[in-house]
């Protein structure tokens, strides 16, 4: 059974970004505590997804392609306020805070997260046309994520889209990549979950509205 999420636009920036209103599942990781920071991130006050109108429409196309394969998209993050990016930066500079290391960066020294590009002071997400997502299948009454080889936001070379050369997870990554590329998105090669609309409408604008 499909779970429909009826969301409404944020009036403060409805002309630029709109809510995702479809059968796509939303698990806004930065709204909860299951993320590399280990707490709710600044700017996330609701389990919602906002994107530029162009990106939202393209994502609906991707969802239709997924449904044809008896799958669904599941979104982890969409538009990301600059205040959230600033929160990430503060977290990365606090080298004593290692409570999420085992789950999100077990093989990396936290001091290298900046130099290796896992954390940055600006994010394409803040432009409103980038989305982090995976594929899920409905089985035995629940939605189950497909095996992608690593979890979302796993800071490790294994998370690179083409780091796996064979196997189920490798194939699942390629299925997601194919769906998203047909819909007009391009993949960030270091993260299998990260896609940006090729023709994004606000390529130089970094929004800072709360998600609520």
Are 31 and 45 a contacting pair, CB within 8 Å?
Answer: yes
Question: Does residue 54 have an active-site annotation?
Answer: no
Terminal CA-to-CA distance of the chain, rounded, Å?
A: 27
Here the tokens at position 179 are 């769906």
Kindly name the residue from 54, 121, 145, 191 that is annotated as catalytic. Answer: 191
Read out DSSP for 77-129?
A: E-S--HHHHHHHHHHHH-TT--TTHHHH-TTS-GGGTTTTTSS-SS-GGGGT-
d(CA 38, CA 170): 28
d(CA 194, CA 49): 15
d(CA 153, CA 144): 18
* Nearest of 66, 42, 48, 55 to residue 16 by alpha carbon: 55
Are 27 and 151 a contacting pair, CB within 8 Å?
Answer: no
Residues labelled as active-site residues: 191
């Amino acid at each position: 059974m499909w779970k429909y999420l009826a969301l409404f636009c944020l009036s403060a920036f409805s002309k630029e970004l709109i809510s995702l209103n479809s059968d796509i599942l939303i698990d806004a990781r930065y709204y909860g505590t299951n993320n590399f920071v280990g707490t709710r991130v600044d700017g996330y006050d609701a389990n919602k997804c906002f994107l530029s109108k162009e990106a939202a429409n393209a994502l609906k196309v991707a969802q239709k392609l997924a449904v044809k394969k008896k799958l669904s998209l599941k979104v982890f993050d969409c538009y990301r306020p600059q205040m959230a990016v600033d929160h990430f930066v503060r977290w990365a500079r606090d080298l004593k805070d290692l409570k999420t290391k085992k789950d999100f960066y077990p093989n990396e020294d936290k001091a290298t997260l900046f130099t290796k590009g896992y954390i940055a002071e600006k994010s394409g997400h803040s432009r409103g046309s980038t989305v982090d997502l995976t594929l899920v299948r409905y089985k035995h009454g629940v939605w189950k994520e497909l095996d992608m080889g690593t979890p979302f936001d796993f800071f490790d070379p294994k998370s690179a889209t083409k780091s796996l050369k064979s196997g189920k997870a490798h194939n699942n990554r390629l299925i997601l990549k194919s769906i998203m590329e047909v819909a007009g998105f391009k993949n960030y090669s270091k993260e299998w979950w990260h896609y940006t609309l090729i023709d994004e409408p606000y390529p130089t604008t970094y929004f800072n509205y709360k998600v609520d």
